[in-house]
Amino acid sequence: MNFDVDDAVTEFRAEVRAFLAQELSPELDEQVYRSGVSHDAAFVRRLAERGWVGPGWERGDDHHKLDPYEVHVLVEELTKAEAPIYAISTTEMVANVIRGVGSEALKAEILPRFLRGEVTIALGMTEPEVGSDVAGVRTRARRDGDRWIVDGQKMFTTNGHVTDYIFLLTRTRPDGPKHAGLTLFLVRLDQPGIEVQAVYTLSGERTNIVFLSEVVVEDRWRIGDVDAGWPALMIALQDEHSAPFSPHLARLIDAVEEWGRDTGRIDEPDVRERFGRWATTLEVARLLELRTTWMSANGQVPVAEGPMSKLFSTESLVHAAEDLTELVGPDALRSRLDPTALVAGRIEHALRFSLGTAIYAGTSEIQRNIIAQHGCGLPRK
């Protein structure tokens, strides 16, 4: 594998950083932190104006398709800056499913609007008491002529209170194997029978629980074939399992380095030892993410390699946040809302945020199962 990038990719990274310096204002950053909502419609429109929504797609507009390494750089820089891109990221996951198995009418309705940054979609997969067992969904869709009636609940529908649609996994055949009888729909959230309630996480993020009662969905909003939702869902989950988390570790290390220089402790032996440890870990995490990019660039699907990358980077982030908080001491626990907080409270926030990353995009346990099965050839658990 050759991970060397050409000058064009290096120049593109500088372009993305310049964009963030201009568009990610302190006011917007503060808004995202206080609200716990990682979405801003104006910011997404600015991304779309540059062709950076669906950046790796073949396009029919004036923007060129970015190559996999340019996409890697774009996502890395946006993630490290904690830019408000979560809603448009989940929208792209769903758009990829629609592009793969959706009807021509649904493609025409959604995909051009997605590329223009005009539509957003939340994920409606997880349910209360089901957790990571996505195939165990109980939300029921029953057919009624050319429409469906949906009843159920969805948990962790982040941004579901501000998005246009929810990507809904339902059970359309209650009998038979668990992974059969699942069907996907795109459901508007501004219709009768839908209630969205806020749920706030330890990290301060707002997510939601969505209640669906006798919700009417026309069959034209079905994504893929009836009872064939599981293989279609895998398109979205494969993207999610390769999500990069090393930028969060890099942001934490930068914050602690800033503390070390400000306090004059940067050259203490214990400080240098810990920096050496986590700088090495960060490099490994970055290389694992680059491997998934290299595989995609060469037409390979990182079925096990994506989970390896995600597992390593998130668990490393959890351990690094604990270790570096201990290094800095009790002062590290002052939050951003405290005017005396160290480095604008970034260390304290990283400590809280890190814990959720071992759950987001599939828990560590799920990632280990995928690696064991597809990477090591072990039998399905």
Across 156-203, the runs of DSSP E, i.e. the strands, are 165-171, 182-188, 194-200
What digits encode the pLDDT tens for the residues 211-267? 999 999 999 999 999 999 999 998 888 878 888 999 999 999 999 999 999 999 999
DSSP 3-state assignment of 195?
A: strand
- Residues ≥6 apart with Cβ < 8 Å to 246: 76, 282, 285, 286, 289, 313
CATH number of 121-228: 2.40.110.10
Burial pattern 197-206, b for ≥16 Cβ within 10 A else e, equals eeeebebbbb
pLDDT of residue 3: 65
Read off the pLDDT band of 2 (50, 70, 90).
low
Geometric angle at alpha carbon 233, from 232 and 239, rounded to 5°:
110
- Residues ≥6 apart with Cβ < 8 Å to 126: 132, 134, 154, 155, 156
Mean pLDDT to the nearest integer, 284-300:
94
| pTM (predicted TM-score) | 0.93
Closest by CA position to 364, among listed 319, 323, 320, 307: 307
Read off the pLDDT band of 55 (50, 70, 90).
very high
Relative to beta strand 165-171, strand 194-200 is: unpaired
Mean pLDDT to the nearest integer, 190-201:
96
Mean pLDDT to the nearest integer, 140-146:
96
What digits encode the pLDDT tens for the residues 153-193? 999 999 999 999 999 999 999 887 888 999 999 999 999 99
pLDDT of residue 206: 97
CA distances from 236 to 90, 192, 232, 264, 301 (A): 9, 27, 8, 47, 13
CATH number of 242-375: 1.20.140.10
Beta pairing partners, 217:
148
